[in-house]
């Protein structure tokens, strides 16, 4: 005899997941928080001649991304290098992101967990 399964609350659950998907489609606040938390590491790894670059790092965020940037025109060449001139990049942003990747993942996980809890999901 085939088993019978009755699912109750299916539409409500689907609706809750749709709302959660909308909530996590815009993680601007989390992106900003994550990027700001990386600024000390980036500054610490920034080569210093005058100190201007070290103090110029700032953050920006959008619904789907966060950025660490500097308005100084030489920030990119210092980060990435200039291979045609034999200049190796300092990779201060890349190294910070790599070395702090576990913390970054934990911060995003917490942000998503908080949003799920706010929608009534039980989260471990």
Q: What are the domain boundaries of the chain?
A: 28-118
Enter the tokens of residue 24: 């996590």
**pLDDT one-digit tens code per residue, 57-77:** 999 999 999 999 999 999 999
The CB-based long-range contact list for 60-65 (8 Å cut-off, 24+ gap) reads 60/35, 61/28, 61/29, 61/31, 61/32, 61/35, 62/28, 62/31, 63/25, 63/26, 63/27, 63/28, 64/25, 64/26, 64/27, 64/31, 65/31
**pLDDT one-digit tens code per residue, 12-69:** 878 888 888 888 899 999 999 999 999 999 999 999 999 999 999 999 999 999 999 9
Enter the tokens of residue 57: 């790092």
pLDDT category, 1, cuts 50, 70, 90?
low
Residue 96's CB is within 10 A of a number of other CB atoms, namely: 21
- Considering the entire predicted model, what is its pTM? 0.82
């Amino acid at each position: 005899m085939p088993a019978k399964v009755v699912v109750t609350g299916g539409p409500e659950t689907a609706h809750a997941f749709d709302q959660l998907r909308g909530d996590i489609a815009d993680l601007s606040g989390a992106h900003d928080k994550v990027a700001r938390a990386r600024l000390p590491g980036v500054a610490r790894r920034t080569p210093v001649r005058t100190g201007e670059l070290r103090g110029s790092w700032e953050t920006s965020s959008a619904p789907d991304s966060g950025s660490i940037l500097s308005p100084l025109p030489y920030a990119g060449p210092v980060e990435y290098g200039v291979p045609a001139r034999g200049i190796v990049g300092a990779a201060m942003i890349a190294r910070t992101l790599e070395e702090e990747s576990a913390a970054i993942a934990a911060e995003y996980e917490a942000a998503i967990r908080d949003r799920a809890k706010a929608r009534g999901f039980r989260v471990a």
